[in-house]
Structure 1
Amino acid sequence: MGAGHDTVAGELARRAREQGHDAQVVDLLRLLPHGLGTGLRRFYQASVRHFPWMYAGLYRALLRPGPRHRPSGIPLARLAGRRLTDLTERTGADVVVPVFHLAAQLTGHLRARGRLRPPSAVLMVDFAVHRQWLHPGNDLYLCLTDDAAREVGRRIAVPVETAGPVVAPGFFAPAAGAARWRRRFERYAPGRPPVVLSAGAWGAASELDGTARLLAAAGFLPIVLCGRNERLRARLAGLPDTLV
C-alpha cells in the first residue's frame, strides 16, 4: 500500500537473491481486477491525508479487536486469489511472504482451503498487532518484537517468531554527508538535540506543526520529513526553530 511495505519487500528479495534464490516482488493491489487496487490505494491515501476521521472510523471497524463480529478483508482480498495461485504455480514458488495485512488475509484464506501450494510466512511490518494481519491458515508469523510475537501467539494458534526489523545494510552505515548535516544542525540550533518527525512517503500526518512547536519549546530541534507531499512541505516551511 505504501513505501514502507514496498521497501521491506524489496529488501527481502535482495537478501534472497544474494543467497542464490529467485525472488519476485508482487503488489497485491495490482492483482485485484477492474482497477480495484488503484481505487483502494487512492481512497486510503486520501483518507489518511485529508480525512483522518474517516480513517479512524475504518480502523475502529476493521482493525481493532473486540468481542463483536468485525468485517474481514477476505472478501476483497480473495478477488486476487486466482491470479496469485496462477503466479505461484507458474513460477514454482517455494514460499509466499506477505508484508501487507490484506495479503496475509488472502494467503491464510487460500492455505486454509488447500488452494495455495507453497506455505505462507507472514512478515508483520507493524509494531502494533491488528486483527487484519491475523489468519490461522498462514503457516508462520514473523514479528518485529517479542511483545508482538506474544500477542500473535495469544490470538491465533500458529508458529510465531521474532525476526526484528528488515532494513537494508545501508541503514546501519554512516550516511553520506552525515558530518556536514551535524555541523549544519549545530550552527542552526547549538546545543539543541535534533528530533526527526517523519510523515512517511505520502506525507500523511496530523498536528505536525503543533508537535514541532512543542519540541522546539522543550529545547529540541525538530526536523520534519514531508515525503513527497510538497503541499505539506510548503505549509510547514515557515515554522520557527524547525528544519523542514
Structure 2
Amino acid sequence: MRSRLPRRITVVSASVGAGHDGAARELVRRLREAGFDAECHDFLDLLPRGCGRLLRGSYALELKVAPWAWGWLLGGLEKHRGSSGLVGRLFAAAAARRTRELVGPETTAIVSTYPLASQALGRLRKSGVLQVPVATFLTDMSVHPLWVAEGVDLHLALHDVAAIQAVKHGAADVEICGPLVGPTFRPARSQAEVDRERTRFGLPLDRPVALITAGSWGVGEVELTAREIAAAGVAVPVTVCGHNEALRQKLEQAGTGVALGWVDDMPALLRASDVVVQNAGGLTSLEAMASGVPVVSYRCLPGHGVTNAAALDEAGLAVWIRSERRLGKALVEALETGPVPAPRAAHSADRVVIALAGGVPETLLEVAS
C-alpha cells in the first residue's frame, strides 16, 4: 500500500552545462513514473535578478578562455575549507526567499543535483527554514568539498570511490546508487542498427569511430584531441562540438574526422560509436557505459575534469590517458577489451529519494526530520 503522505518532490538543478540538468530530468521522470508529483527548478532562477545569468556566463567564459583558472579556483576552495562554508552562506542568503516560495506544504523532500544549490539548501535546512529532508545527488565520480553541505540529510553517490570522497569531506549519510541515465541509452541490438545510425550521422561504415565529447559547450583541448586521434590512425575522430559553432567550423575546414554540432539524439550517436573519448567525466561518460561503449579520458579539463578522470580510473570504469604517447595503444586496448558495465548499486536513486520522502511503507534508510 502506498503512503497517503503528500507526494511532491522538488528537484533543484542548474543550467550550467548539461550534466546537472540531465540527471535532474531523469530523476523527475522516474519519480513521476512512480506516481509522485515531481518538478525541477533551476537554481540560477532562485538567485537575485541577473545573478544567475552572470554566474553561468562567467563559468562558461572561464572554461573557454582560461580553464587553468577554474582548476586553480577549485583547488583553492578544497585547500581552504572555510571558503566553501563562506560560499554556502552567501548563496543560502541569496536564494533563501525564492527557495521558501517553491517549497509548499505538499513538498515531502528536496533533491539537489548542483553543488551550490546543495550549499544553499543545506544551510536553509540547518537553520530550520526548510522543514523537509534535503538530499544531494552527486552527479560526478569525484566529490569536491562544495558538494558536501551541512544540513543536507543524505548524499547519493555513484560508486564506492565517490562515497569515500564524500565521507572524507564530512558527509554523514551516504547511499550508493545507480546513475541517473535514461532508458533510451542502451547497447545496439545488431550491426544493422549500428550501420543505420552511422549512415544517419554521416559516419564511416568501415572503420572504428572514436566519439570525442566535451560537454554542451565544447570546451577544452578538443581540436588538438581530434588531430591526435586522427594521427594515431586507430579510429576516425568524430567530435561533438555542442553549441561551439566556431570549433565545429575549424574541424570541418581542417578535414579532421567528422565534426558535429549540437546532437539531439545522443543515444543513437553513442550506439554508432566504438569508443568515447571524454574530457570532463560527466553524464556523457555514464550514458556511454549504459550504451555498451568503452570510455577513456584524455586531455581533461583542469579541476573537475582531472579529478573525475582520476576517480573513473580508480573505479576501473574508464582509463585515464595521461600522454599522447599512450593514446594509440590505449584506444586499441579499449576497442579490443570492449565496454565496462556502468556502475550499479543495490538501490536506484529514485527509490532512495522515495524512501526519503516517506513514499514507501518500509524505508530503505532513516533520516531525521
Distance in 1 (CA, whole Å) between partners of 2:204 and 2:75 is 43
Distance in 2 (CA, whole Å) between partners of 1:130 and 1:157 is 11
Aligned to 2:321: none
Task: Provide Cα deviations, 1:61-87, integer angstroms capped at 9, x if missing partner.
Answer: 33xx22664344213321111211221
Aligned to 1:118: 132
1:181 deviates by 3.8
Aligned to 2:62: 47
Q: Using a 3 Å threshold, how does the CA distance of structure 1 residues 68 and 118 change in structure 2: closer, same or farther? A: closer
Percent of matched pairs sharing the same residue = 38
Gaps of 5+ in 1: none
Distance in 1 (CA, whole Å) between partners of 2:230 and 2:80 is 42
Q: Using a 3 Å threshold, how does the CA distance of structure 1 residues 241 and 181 change in structure 2: closer, same or farther? A: farther
Aligned to 1:234: 249
Aligned to 1:164: 178
Tell me, yes or no, if the aligned pair for 1:202 and 1:229 is still in contact at 8 Å.
yes
TM-score (normalizing by structure 1): 0.88
Task: Provide Cα deviations, 1:118-176, integer angstroms capped at 9, x if missing partner.
Answer: 10110011111111101131111001111101111232141111112101111126499
Tell me, yes or no, if the aligned pair for 1:8 and 1:99 is still in contact at 8 Å.
yes
Aligned to 1:70: 83
Distance in 2 (CA, whole Å) between partners of 1:68 and 1:29 is 24
Higher strand share: 2
1:202 aligns with 2:220: no
Q: Using a 3 Å threshold, how does the CA distance of structure 1 residues 60 and 124 change in structure 2: closer, same or farther? A: same
Q: Let me know the Cα RMSD of the aligned residues.
A: 2.2
Kindly report which structure 2 residues correspond to 1:1-244, keeping only aligned pairs within 5 A, or say none.
Answer: 1-62=16-77, 65-66=78-79, 69-71=82-84, 72-78=86-92, 79-88=94-103, 90=104, 92-172=106-186, 174=188, 178-182=194-198, 185-187=203-205, 190-191=206-207, 193-205=208-220, 207-218=221-232, 219-244=234-259
Distance in 1 (CA, whole Å) between partners of 2:81 and 2:60 is 28
Distance in 1 (CA, whole Å) between partners of 2:157 and 2:171 is 15
Gaps of 5+ in 2: 1-15, 260-369
**SS of corresponding position for 2:184:** helix
Q: Using a 3 Å threshold, how does the CA distance of structure 1 residues 28 and 140 change in structure 2: closer, same or farther? A: same
The aligned amino acid for 1:81 is A
Where relative contact order (Cα < 8 A, 6+ residues apart) is larger, the structure is 2
Tell me, yes or no, if the aligned pair for 2:141 and 2:159 is still in contact at 8 Å.
yes
Distance in 2 (CA, whole Å) between partners of 1:224 and 1:179 is 18
Distance in 2 (CA, whole Å) between partners of 1:225 and 1:91 is 43
Tell me, yes or no, if the aligned pair for 1:134 and 1:156 is still in contact at 8 Å.
yes
The answer to which of 44-53 and 166-175 deviates more is: 166-175
Distance in 2 (CA, whole Å) between partners of 1:204 and 1:159 is 34
Distance in 1 (CA, whole Å) between partners of 2:21 and 2:139 is 11
Tell me, yes or no, if the aligned pair for 1:120 and 1:140 is still in contact at 8 Å.
yes
**SS of corresponding position for 1:171:** coil
Q: How many residues align?
A: 237
**SS of corresponding position for 1:24:** strand
The aligned amino acid for 1:44 is Y
Tell me, yes or no, if the aligned pair for 1:194 and 1:223 is still in contact at 8 Å.
yes
Tell me, yes or no, if the aligned pair for 1:142 and 1:160 is still in contact at 8 Å.
yes
